[in-house]
Amino acid sequence: MTPAQRPPGKSSTPRRALHGVLLLDKPLGWTSNDALQKCKGLLRALKGGHTGTLDPLATGLLPLCFGAATKFSQVSLDADKRYRATLCLGRRTSTGDREGEVLEERPVATDAAAVAAACGRFIGAQDQVPPMHSALKHQGRALYEYARAGVEVERAPRRVTIHAIDIVHWQHDELVLDVSCTKGTYIRTLAEDIGQALGCGAHLSALRRTGCGPLDLAQATTLEALQALSEAEREAQLLPADVLLAGWPEVCLNESEAGRFLTGLRRRVALADAPAVRVYASQPPAFLGTAHITAGELIADRLLNPLEVQGTL
């Protein structure tokens, strides 16, 4: 990232309350926080956060939440993810990606059946040890800080699930995969594991996040495109907060019931129990927040205040 590309520092331009979700196609070389701060500045937004870190090496879908939408960002953090991963076969590196020192080179002697079998071994639930070169924290410091200092930290394995691995392209030392997985899955670790299974080693040479829960990269905008827009056009890129909850069961309340719900009062509903629902007012139409249903009672979880309800329409 060049100095001209970096997010601006503090500005005297007044910030404003904006509510919604911006789907950003994060550029190569930017941290997730760099991208967030740049977009906050372009939108003049008071409050914002990203929904899961993408390494500088990675590009692709980074949902950014502003204002009231930040109340529901955990949903996106917890959602399944989709990636397009490019593996370089025959080389292991110190970081598991192209930025590391080459530790070992081996000839790539395999065939399509062996590649398919190696990928198939890693579909399903499994324990995965986080890599040292990751943003995971240990005693308040990111693991990559320890790695850069030459310190190895013991890491507990994490239970993850890889739902699918589809082979997009394979030719000699380049293998391109589409991966669908649960949150917390490290694709660089998967790349190394597949290389080990093939007997030649591998590292991750490129990574692009293509989906997050119901959200898709095709809906995202680039920083360049955002910068080229007027302020009103940039604001129009914001999606409503409930886009993060697409696919959840929906409960619709009349005006009086909606008002009571927003105060946190439990409501009786003739609906089956559900661990998570999105709640709307029917008139005027508005997203109110999230809840769960237990024993016929609608119990609020995350609520918008009346001003936020107006701002998310």
Q: What is the mean pLDDT of each run of 10 residues along the chain (313 residues)?
A: 47 82 97 95 94 90 96 94 98 92 94 96 93 71 72 83 98 96 95 96 97 96 97 95 95 92 90 95 91 95 78 48
pLDDT, position 85? 98
The reply to whether 81-212 shares the fold of 20-77+217-241 is yes
Catalytic residue among 55, 97, 193, 242: 55
pLDDT, position 313? 44
- Other C-beta atoms closer than 10 Å to the C-beta of 201 total 22
Q: What is the CATH number of domain 20-77+217-241?
A: 3.30.2350.10
| C-alpha torsion sign, points 296, 302, 307, 310 | negative
pLDDT, position 3? 37
Q: What is the CATH number of domain 81-212?
A: 3.30.2350.10
CA–CA separation, 187 and 205 (whole Å): 11
Concerning whether 55 is annotated as a catalytic residue, the answer is yes
Is residue 284 reached through a cis peptide bond, with omega within 30 degrees of 0 on the bond before it? yes
pLDDT, position 309? 62
pLDDT, position 156? 82
pLDDT, position 5? 52
CA–CA separation, 249 and 269 (whole Å): 13
Would you list the domain boundaries of the chain? Answer: 20-77+217-241, 81-212, 248-311
Contact 216, 210 (CB under 8 A): yes
Q: Which CATH architecture has domain 248-311?
A: Roll (2.30)
Q: Helices (DSSP H) in 52-136: which residue ranges?
A: 73-78, 112-120
pLDDT, position 131? 77
State the pTM of this model: 0.89
Residue 45 is given by DSSP the state B
